[in-house]
Amino acid sequence: MRVPIRTSKWATAARRFAGIALPLVVVSIFFHRAGAMPTVAFELVAAVGTLLAALAVIAALVAFVHLWISGHKGWGKAVTGLVFGALCLVPAGVLAADFLRYPIVDEVTTSPLDPPPLLSGVAAAPPGPAAAARLAVLFPNLQSRHYPLAPPTVFGLVAAIVRDEGWQVLREDPPDDSGQGGQVNVLATSLFGFREEVSIRLNPTDAGTGVAVRSVSLSALHEPGANATRVAGFLAELDARITAAQQHPAGAEPVPAPLPAPPPARTGKR
């Protein structure tokens, strides 16, 4: 009598859970980044997808044990459920790691006493003393800058960085002859589609231009560290471009490198 070989129900469940979780997680992140899904809906859909992905991984692990003991079919379904379930858990893992690494703050600014103005009107609270101390350790360059260059030159470099980052410009006031240094407000999108407003203010000084930056999360749930990482990255890039502008001023002709000396003529006979 031939004994039929059954397919493990755990393996089938693992693949089904993963098959539902994958589109929920991937599509929700895609639509949230594109602005086609509200943050509240994204959080709900992503949470359901993450839960199903966790169930897929658990079911796959149980299926491996069951298949090894019983000899039933379903190894391919169990592997599929494990792989896709684990992939769907990566975003949640990244967020969890950020929550452990960075302090939870809604606002980061290089000028706490006089932060650059916002256009969104969000009432963000500055970080407390403990969170500010952690940010100072993790991001030591979160400080306002003073450059020995004129405001129009610095403003041009700031505008170039904004374009290169792909940020959406909300306001752009270049420096004028009345002594105003300039202001730029942009809308930036984090890795998982959360929005932050970044405000960049330029103040003319006796020695050049002062730059203050502020980044504020526009939703209650956001990526920890996104504001600080964005401000620190922007300032590092601006420092590099300011240094390049000082080394190679506009209109200066680059000095060509000297040509290599020709090899000495060979006078001996062969």
Query: pLDDT tens, 184-204?
Result: 999 999 888 889 999 999 999
Average pLDDT, the chain: 87
Task: Name the band, by pLDDT with cuts 50, 70 and 90, for residue 270.
Answer: very low
Asked if residue 27 has pLDDT above 90, the reply is yes
Higher pLDDT, 219 or 227: 227
* C-alpha to C-alpha distance for 95 and 192, rounded to whole angstroms: 9
Higher pLDDT, 5 or 30: 30
- Cβ–Cβ contacts within 10 Å for residue 130, how many? 9
At residue 3, the pLDDT reads: 47
pTM of the model: 0.79
HSE-up of residue 116 (Cα within 13 Å, Cβ side): 28
User: Could you tell me what percentage of the chain is helix, strand and coil, using 3-state DSSP and rounding each to the nearest 5?
Assistant: 50, 15, 35
At residue 177, the pLDDT reads: 73
* C-alpha to C-alpha distance for 193 and 43, rounded to whole angstroms: 11
At residue 4, the pLDDT reads: 57
Residues 6+ apart with CB under 8 A from 179: 204
* C-alpha to C-alpha distance for 20 and 76, rounded to whole angstroms: 17
Query: pLDDT tens, 132-179?
Result: 899 889 999 999 999 999 999 999 999 999 999 999 999 999 988 776
Asked if residue 227 has pLDDT above 50, the reply is yes
- So what's the architecture of 107-247 in CATH? 2-Layer Sandwich (3.30)
